[in-house]
Chains A and B, each alone.
Chain A
Amino acid sequence: MDDLERDGLGRDGLESDEFERELKQAFERRPAPPSLKRKLMDRRSRQRTERLHLRKVMWERLAACLVLAALVGGGFEWHQREEQRKGEAARQQVFTALRITNHALNQVKAQLAEHDRDRQE
């Protein structure tokens, strides 16, 4: 006696057994359409191809993104270095100009000092 009979589902004896037997016969598995497996395998193959294609496209996009990121990063780095180089060159020019100016001022100062000494004498 299984659960259903214990629960009173088969309580009307022989008639119920016959009914349930009839149900089991009526509800036997039906064979699947012969085309089901073929259609399924076709869809599976199509889906796999699509998945492979999508994966390929995804990798291509990823590679393109990486190349683009490398280009942008490289460009940014080059720009930074270029700015640094220009800044350094400008600094050197300023120092040179200051050195020249300093030298010129020293010369003027020496001339003025010499001129003052001459006047005092």
Chain B
Amino acid sequence: MPKRTDIKKILIIGSGPIIIGQACEFDYSGAQAVKALKEEGYKVALINSNPATIMTDPDLADATYIEPLTVEFLEKVIIKEKPDAVLPTMGGQTGLNLAVEAYEAGVFKRHNVEMIGAKYEAIKKAENREEFKRAMQKIGLDLPKSDFAYSLEEAEKVAEKIGYPVIVRASFTLGGSGSGVCHNIEELRTTARTGLDYSRVHEILIEESIVGWKEYELEVMRDTNDNFVVICSIENLDPMGVHTGDSITVAPAQTLTDREYQRMRDAARKVMSEIGIETGGSNVQFAVDPKTGRMVIIEMNPRVSRSSALASKATGFPIAKFAAKLAVGLTLDEIPNDITKYTPASFEPSIDYCVVKIPRFAFEKFEGVDDRLSTQMKSVGEVMSIGRTFKEAFQKGLRSLETKRFGFGGDGKDKIFDLTLKTREAYLQFLKTVPQDKELREKIFAYAKIPREDRIFYLKYAYLAGYTTEEIYKKTGVDPWFLAQLKQIIDLEGELLAAQGKLKQQDGLMRKAKQYGFSDRQLAFYWGLQEKDVRKKRKGLGIKPVYKLVDTCAAEFKAYTPYFYSTYEDEDEANPSRKKKVMILGGGPNRIGQGIEFDYCCVHAVMALKKMGYETIMVNSNPETVSTDYDTSDKLFFEPLTLEDVLNIYENEKPLGVILQLGGQTPLNLAKSLLANGVKILGTSVDAIDRAEDRDRFKKLLKKIGLRQPANGIATSLEEAHQIAKEIGYPVVIRPSYVLGGRAMEIVYDQTSLKKYMKHAVEASDDQPVLIDKFLEDATEMDVDLISDGKTAVVGSVMEHIEEAGIHSGDSASVIPPFSISREIVEEIVQKTKRIAKELGVVGLMNVQYAIQKDQVFCLEVNPRASRTVPFVSKTIGVPLAKLAAQLMVGKTLKELKFTEEIVPKHVAVKESVFPFVKFPGVDIILSPEMKSTGEVMGIDKDFGKAFYKSQDAAMSHIPRKGTVFISVKDTDKPKIAEIAREFHKLGLKIVSTKGTAKVLKEAGVPAEEVLKMVEGSPNLSHWIKEKKMDLIINTPSGKGPMLDEGKIRSLAVSFNIPCITTLSAARAAVRGLQAVRDDDLDVKSIQDYHGVKGKP
């Protein structure tokens, strides 16, 4: 069927900020959709609040709105753009939910907009669990026994009937929020309560527990002609009970016979027809009882998803791109397969390799968090790895994770409870003693039962402790096929260990070890050598990786898309060209502190260099990203970002240089060792990086520039730390050197806390010293992004943070242009930053952080690389800084690129951070030097108040225009709270306070109702929150300590979805926001309009 001609313009809804359960994969799908629809000749408008996305680049869509994803703003965009259709299936659950809400509010009907991709009814049927259950029963598919509940009482009754354990799932939620396994009535009550609250329709499903069953997923597509294809099958290593986003998953399915697989395929097809997903991609999840083969359907997502991004990367089949084309009426046979060119998209990819996805967690960031994995997703990112066998892919995946692991253990990083096995000797000792150590082996076995981030390693330790596959299978439910693969790795490790000192045996084992995915680092550990010795030895034996193509067809047809993975076999297909080429290292898995922003920068570099005629070579391991779209670079290597893997590609491809500074800290950490191996690093020199990162050299640098630094010192022991802290005076900021995202960074107020900190800091810093800085109280933090060609430097933007210094810059709201700092100081910062750049000889990007205390400028840190804020700044000033930076790194000058002067925008942009607290119940939400946010949004408007107001809406932290504000602040904030409260009062909001604050307010003449603290009796504050009798909470923390009343208030606020402000500065900004929207309604404006650029015709 030809594409529709009755539609001219299509609005795509993005997915908003990166949150747990929704990451860059929707930038990947959204960007693909925009490109695909434009390719077909449609006008495309776009709404997404996340500036750090490729899809919101001004030259992608015709009109791009960086506005909050709410019905209010969606309607405003629709009014302005007058689209004929809206495509809601590319923006994850956020996009889908927004479309449903807008539909129900009559927005689409009002403006005559058609939903394409998935109709409202289809979404309802797939997402509403009761309707879904009915639909599945109708087509004869088996489901776990279940029933719905709309109240706590009902929930208890249903659970009783089904029998414990049961699983609670909330309807219409994201990443499984409000879901969990309950073994008894107490657990049920807690989970059901949260579930009912999270559900948009106050509905939960209580179902038979099928924990321990095998879990599968099919990624499927269907077109208007009812043509149906399965793109990829996925089998989870972790059995049912762990959210699929938190599971190690493998493609294709491994343990299904063809009959069993085809039965699943038939079921998926029936589901698609019944739900009525006419067009596009979906995923369908199944569980299979390993004992009887009984197959039940778990759920389906009527949209592209994280797993469809994974499936696209795993097979080379671009699901989102084709889904967009199907949505406008094309059929699968009308779309050519990009990779083979001559065959159509209407086929099912076949693969001749194994793909492993491993989730990346960030539990260390959240004190007191429950790190057991369950049906609620907790991981913040993922890696994908490809190998010819599972063993190879699995070990590559583990070393892609950026958790300092180099494979399946035996890398000097093994840690069994408190026992660390850093040396070969310690490892051997453990191997020798553990089978006899009854207590330890039983402890290991018990620990291996519960799914956790490190459970996979405990499966190994259980083997080492002498347990059999059968025993481990019974305990954990991990399929014997996977266990046998792990066992093969463990057995070979035994042989490798035994070959220490025996050169001939080592040589004999080398190839097999590499085929099993062992890294040089592990071999060095087994043989008591250095990594570089193993590398030399290996190359001496002629054992080098070959690169194989990902081609969708298992080599049946010639492939045209250069998308590679390494393996140790005979034939190399990389076929290096003789063009001038540049290699760009990506950022690896998303985690807190390093996310989509860096992928954005890498993609921009690729675009710019491609345009200049360079062949671009991308290396990355994150399947969610745009950078790993085979469409992005000239050559894509899906590989771990370790020295060994990067060097292998470098030596095979021989590029003229490597760009490290755009992928965040991951590639930068490789700088020294790459240089030592003769790699040409493009842009800022490695020495300059060291000058910024080495504390002593940094001190000298600042002295030379004439910049103040908070008093500081370096300590390698507790005694030294005490001494330094005493000298410079408490409070101090303390952290390990070379860290990311403020990892283990803390403000310490006294000697006791210092001692406590030093105990756990060592682990975070790998024997590197800790840095101690004087903490600047009540200081304003500023951030500068700068670009330089080595001679000329231009400041992209100076940003002022709303939260004071001491809160991680990644967690603060930040504003362009500065709103409270004097012009003189801003100018001083601009000049000093330029001088730093000149002194360091920065070629590319640099970010500098400052604190302003009593009009004095302090320099906090210099990062000679692209920062998290580059996309935010670029979108605010309308200059693609990363693109320019890439060009500078290959020799262009800023003059040649016509960017020599700072741009002062006529509008205000606010970047607000978005946090994952809702996924970690009970964790206190206060901000600290340790970064905790997963994503960001941007509010942009004429003035500060409006931009801030929008940023809060976009961050799902809506500032209420009316209603009740609860205010309770720490003693030191009490003198300043009255003026803020007065403004809220003036704006017509009711004020409620606990005793202390209420007294202060009343004395200042601000009317405030008093409410009891939790400890003061009932009804108290917690009842107010649970009954949602307040619309905003302002609560500043009195200091870090055990869980106090205030901590409970804040985490309760998160659970009940009440916006919670934890600093006075943010409270003031909220007032300004409210004032700005009081009389004047908010308007929307496209990025193209802000910057006076027109979308390409």
Q: Do A and B come from one complex?
A: no
B interface residues (Cβ-Cβ under 8 A, vs A): none
